Amino acid sequence: MDKLWGGRFDREGGRGAEGFTASLSFDRRLYRQDIAGSIAHARMLARAGVLTAAEADQIVAGLREIEGEIERGEFPFRVELEDIHLNIEKRLTEKIGPVGGKLHTGRSRNDQVALDMHLYMKETLVRMRERVHRLQAALAARAEEALNGPDGPVLMPGYTHLQRAQPVLLAHHLLAYFWMLERDQGRLADCLGRTDVMPLGAAALAGTSYPIDREFVARELGFAAIYPNSMDAVSDRDFLLEFLAAAAILMTHLSRFCEEVVIWSSYEFGFVELADAYATGSSIMPQKKNPDVAELARGKAGRVFGRLMGLLTVMKGLPLAYHTDMQEDKEAVFDAVDTLDAVLPALAGMVETMAFRAGRLRAALRGDFSNATDLADYLARKGLPFREAHETVGRAVRFCLDHGRALEDLTLDELRRFSPLFETDALQALEPASVVGARRSAGGTAPERVAEQLAQAKRILFSREAGESMVGECCR
């Protein structure tokens, strides 16, 4: 029987379920991690006296050859061997003889697959942080352009309930997404810390009777710690759930931004023009320019959400320790990783190349009553209780709506019909630039405050580029 666990079974036993139970179709992407873990394990076994140095060298050389075969597309994958682990081990024995069968001493596929996923996720999380970083850098760069434009800072309407609320700087709006992504960076970093724990040596669930050195293997593979409990080591998938949760929140932020891009690029808004590379046309309507990249990224958020809920459902009822149900973790994680690997670079490129229509953004503020709060604040500073000031300005807005006017069109005499507290300087308070400039509270949209947060964002970007390694080394 070809199966490496087949002694207990008759030669034809289980043949009908091979295709159902096999995971090779998706876990073959773990070959580098599997080989890296096996090399470290072999070296540890030699160090512990379980293998001779010559046997360990044979195993390592054979594994290196197998890695080359896989990368050249020459490896004879066999679905009847179920998974990447058994495929590599069987091929190793074919290449170097019976000594290849000694590699699995002191370990189980339970801790082996857990190790592979930890190695895979360590590398993946580093890459995801790099890709989020690029998008953050693009947002900060566009914010800086909008803050220091040739005609001054670019103003735009700010919204609540998708209704005009108060004027803000375009730079302020863009930086809001920078800070969302910075929280995503924190979640990914936290997940990386909890992923950086090595399960190998737990064996099936109870540890092993061989004199293994788990700390040595952890050092060889670049792990910060080992699992203190062997049962937890083989059954823990929290680090994958945590990644999927972080990925789902990240996709929420990306989807929100894409929704704005879709709205802003519409004819009705016209706030932004997408580069042709990030839009498509219509097969029937020659005039169309559709924001397909933003729409597709928005749609893919649901895909990642589903993967999180799927794995939570798999894990919620499993007693200790390992169960084959956990095989379902890989397709969920791989799909979420592939989705982010596609979405993040696409959105970074879209942000880097989109053109904001500063004139259209500024013009949108004309007559939208987003300066009403400042008129109420003016009266409050004159001593009128804010609730009365709110009521007074509300009556002024009603007057404008009834007569087709804008607040900034009213004369001082017309304003004084609503309150004798209005003086000449009230007219200046209605100007959009004055409205924005008055928002000087910490984190506000006044140009000097936005300049401060932009400087803070740039310091974060520089610090990450200069002081934090973004290159995964775990499987090299």
CATH topology of domain 110-162+169-361+453-465: Fumarase C; Chain A, domain 2 (1.20.200)
> At 467, is the pLDDT very low, low, confident or very high (cuts 50, 70, 90)?
confident
What is the average per-residue pLDDT within 443-469? Answer: 93
Task: Name residue 124's amino acid.
Answer: T
**Is 173 in the active site?**
no
Indicate whether 469 pLDDT > 80: no
Indicate whether 470 pLDDT > 80: no
What is the average per-residue pLDDT within 414-426? Answer: 94
Indicate whether 144 pLDDT > 90: yes
CA atoms within 13 A on the CB side of 469: 7
Does the domain at 372-430 match CATH 1.10.40.30? Answer given as: yes
What is the average per-residue pLDDT within 76-104? Answer: 97
In tens, the pLDDT along 106-117 reads 999 999 999 999
272 forms bridges with which residues in the sheet? 356
Residue 451 has a CB neighbour count (10 Å cut-off) of: 16
Mean pLDDT rounded to a whole number for the chain: 94
Query: What is the rounded CA–CA span in Å between residue 227 and residue 250?
Result: 28
> Which of the pair, 1 or 287, is modelled with greater confidence?
287
> At 13, is the pLDDT very low, low, confident or very high (cuts 50, 70, 90)?
low
Which pLDDT value is given to residue 286? Answer: 87
Whether the CB-CB separation of 66 and 91 falls below 8 Å is answered with yes
> At 442, is the pLDDT very low, low, confident or very high (cuts 50, 70, 90)?
very high
Q: What stretch of H or E contains 273?
A: strand 272-273
Q: Give residue limits of the domains in the chain.
A: 14-105, 110-162+169-361+453-465, 372-430
Which pLDDT value is given to residue 11? Answer: 60
Which pLDDT value is given to residue 12? Answer: 58
Active-site choice (25, 282, 403, 463): 282
> At 471, is the pLDDT very low, low, confident or very high (cuts 50, 70, 90)?
very low
Which pLDDT value is given to residue 3? Answer: 59
**Alpha-carbon distances of 417 from 383, 392, 411, rounded to whole Å:** 18, 10, 10
In tens, the pLDDT along 57-72 reads 999 999 999 999 999 9
> At 5, is the pLDDT very low, low, confident or very high (cuts 50, 70, 90)?
low
Query: What is the rounded CA–CA span in Å between residue 371 and residue 321?
Result: 62
Which pLDDT value is given to residue 19? Answer: 81
**Alpha-carbon distances of 468 from 27, 264, 463, 465, rounded to whole Å:** 30, 35, 7, 6
* Cα dihedral value 344, 350, 353, 356, nearest 10: -130
Q: Which of 14-18, 169-173, 458-462 shows the lowest per-residue confidence on average (mean pLDDT)?
A: 14-18
In tens, the pLDDT along 178-225 reads 999 999 999 999 999 999 999 999 999 999 999 999 999 999 999 999
CATH topology of domain 14-105: Fumarase C; Chain B, domain 1 (1.10.275)
Active-site choice (161, 209, 283, 441): 161
**Is 230 in the active site?**
no
What is the average per-residue pLDDT within 267-290? Answer: 93
Whether the CB-CB separation of 120 and 30 falls below 8 Å is answered with yes
